[in-house]
Structure 1
Amino acid sequence: MNGWLLTAGGIGAATTVIHILAGGRSIVRPLLGSEVAVEPKRTLHVVWHMVTADLLLSSGALLALAFAAAPSTALVLFIAAQFFAYAAVFLIVTLTADWRRPLLQLPQWMLLLPVAILALIGSR
């Protein structure tokens, strides 16, 4: 068993649950009840569910790879790169916004970055 990948997958799974429960309540419901035009609203709704699927599949893959006899290094590195990219996007958007405490306004990077780092370490 690879403890690094197990931990990365566990944090990824927890992130997925938070995304579904908290994000659904604080992001999706207000979006769907907003006055945004129908096409962009539904497009953002689809993107929300695409992210849910990606988080779920990536976390599941990390958990499965943690127990694999010979985990695919390429797959682990791909998932790590995804989570690094997601964390970077959140950090860039957050740090370029005109917010008083930007790193806490969109804290998702705090869950995404550890998954990336742990997966990277676990790929060795």
Structure 2
Amino acid sequence: MNIFLLIAAGLSAGVCLIHTFLGGREIAVPLLQAADLAPVPKYVSYFCWHIVTIALAAIAAMFAFAAMRPDSLELAWAATGLTGAICLLGLAVPPMKKQTYAHMPQGWLFLPITVLGAIGVS
């Protein structure tokens, strides 16, 4: 059992739950209630919200599977690459859009997962 990948799986599952429940209430519900947003961007954004939910759950599953199966490190590499890319994007967007990390902290959530994944695959 790879403890680093197991912890990365747990943190990834936690991020998925935060996204689903807290983010759903704070982001998805107001998005759907926005009367001034045209239907196409509104529902495409909502669809993308669900794509992210699926991706986050898949990342958690990839880390968990790789933690229990040492012959499956390709999954851990893929999950680490995905979380690393999400982390970089999440850290770059707020300053580029003149936002604060207090309003957009998502990138920071992926940093410890990426570090644990990198340790776990090495």
Into which bin does the TM-score normalised by the smaller protein fall? Answer: over 0.9
Q: What corresponds to 1:26 in structure 2?
A: 26
State the 1:120 CA deviation. 1.1
Q: Which residue of 1 aligns with 2:110?
A: 112
Identity %: 31
Task: Give structure 1 stretches of 5+ with no counterpart.
Answer: none
Alignment of 1:28-67 (within 5 A): 28-34=28-34, 35-67=36-68
State how far apart, in whole Å, the 2-side matches of 1:30 and 1:55 are: 21
User: Does structure 1 residue 121 correspond to structure 2 residue 103?
Assistant: no
Match of 2:81 in 1: 81
Displacement, 1:37?
Answer: 0.5
Question: TM-score of the superposition, structure 2-length normalised?
Answer: 0.93
Q: Matched residue pairs, number?
A: 121
Distance 1:29 1:49 in 2: 13
Deviations along 1:60-84, one digit per CA (max 9) or x if unpaired, are 1111211114232x22111111111
**Gapped runs of 5+ residues in structure 2?**
none
